[in-house]
Amino acid sequence: MTGYHHKKKGIGILYTDTYLVNGARTPFGKLCGTLGSISPTDLGIYATKAALEKAGVDGEDIDQFMYANIGQSSADSYFLPRHVGLYSGIPEEVPAVMLQRICGSGFETIIAGAEQIALGKAKATMCGGTENMTLSPTVSFGNRMGYPLGRIDFKDMLWEALNDTAGVPMGCTAENVARRYQISKADANEFAKLSADRAIAATKAGFFDGEVTPINSTVFEVEGLNPRKVRLPKGVENFTTDENIRPANLEAMAKLPSVFEKDGVQNAANSSGIVDGAASVVVAHKSVVEEKGLQPLTRIVASATSALDPRYMGLGPVPAIRLVLEIAGLKLEDIGLIEINEAFAAQFIGCERELGLHRSICNVNGGAIALGHPLAATGTRLSLTLSREMNRRGVRYGIASACIGGGQGTAILFEHVN
């Protein structure tokens, strides 16, 4: 492992002999949909148990458990990574930690897992994130101290998650990007339709079947621990498909009102879907891969995280991608596939124009506008989807990246090894 630090460009690492073995995710449930009542802890358990199976390893093979959750939305959220690990079959002796870099948190768990391996503190790590945005609470800060007469104050934490009080609301950062790059509403709607069309095609072709684990009503039981009962809504026995995906019609989209600014380009159809879901992957050293005869999806080559003006938050992938390429000694032309999280259509298009990307190799199975953006799980999902598509196409190098609230960006460079 070789670390990199530049006060202007950001931070990064070049890895040696570290692999993304395989992983799994839940289907993503739409806001107030099928997964709306399921704890983020339980969603994480579903994904992690399936990830172990997909990777071909046992819980005993995992040395550290790295997990993310942004909007704490259940009473046991303080214990979330520990509970996900224990109920997934990870031995009680294995430590668990929660990481948080907002929309980049899923990436951060992979980066941290790879770092622990490079430092000799682990040979195999479980990495991932979980989010139930439907259960995001309405809170009253300070209620323990009482209220002045007539001044009871409640906040919707889901709404607050979209508002950077130091800069501008997340959606308004996309409008800033749209102005800078002269992106029209028609441009944004056209890209959103492409995301939906690609996600529908990928679903029909069965591509996501290789990463989605079915969700059924069940009881997670571990000796010595209280059982966790999970119940799907009445009439649902087997939940298997991303629920936010729907056909897109440009004529209908053009009639939708702007959400964040009067006459802005962003509307409900060209912004990322608010969804519930979890994703997990196994990251392991070459020695584990060889010893157990595993077939990893990709090698983790390098990672980078950069920061920029919060008012242009959506451009975060630009410096992060440039830095990860610099660290690895590669050029953009060397990259065969790219995943950039679709927080907003204008945000993606801004990155596309600034970097000079070819849309034909970006988000080829659709992105967050269609699938949804479960904050803590997104980076893990992007890494898994990209790695699987790299194997399907035989592409050597791929990059997964995302903008991050507050003005940051993270990118991970993967290499196809099979």
Q: Which amino acid is at 90?
A: I
- Helices vs strands, H then E, count in the chain: 12, 16
What residue spans of 56-96 are helical by DSSP H? Answer: 80-87
CA distance 37 to 31: 10
Backbone phi, psi, residue 282, to 5°: -100, 125
What distances in angstroms separate CA 89 from CA 43, 81, 416, 418, one per listed residue?
A: 15, 13, 29, 28
In sequence order, which residues have a C-beta less than 8 Å from that of residue 299 and are 6 or more positions away? 15, 17, 18, 19, 20, 414, 415, 417
Q: What is the DSSP string of 175-223?
A: HHHHHHTT--HHHHHHHHHHHHHHHHHHHHTTGGGGTBPPB--EEE--T
Q: What is the DSSP string of 258-298?
A: PSSSTT-S--TTSB---EEEEEEEEEEEHHHHHHHT---SE
How far apart, in whole angstroms, are the C-alpha atoms of residue 399 and residue 362? 10
103 belongs to the catalytic site: yes
Question: Is-catalytic flag, 32?
Answer: no
Contact 363, 121 (CB under 8 A): no
Q: 56: phi > 0 → left, psi -120 to 50 → alpha, else beta; which?
A: left
CA distance 312 to 167: 9
Q: Could you tell me if 202 and 14 are in contact, meaning their C-beta atoms sit under 8 angstroms apart? A: no
Catalytic residue chosen out of the listed positions 103, 127, 351, 362: 103
DSSP annotation of 123 reads S
Short-list 209, 213, 52, 65, CA closest to 128: 65
Give the helix ranges, DSSP H, for 70-133.
80-87, 105-118
**Do residues 316 and 4 make contact, with C-beta atoms less than 8 angstroms apart?**
no
Hey, what amino acid is at 73? Answer: S
Residue 297: C-alpha distances to residues 113, 167, 386, 415, 418 (Å) = 16, 39, 10, 9, 7
Catalytic site residue from 127, 172, 362, 403 = 403
Displacement of CA 235 from its chain's centroid (Å): 29
> Which residues are the active-site residues?
103, 403
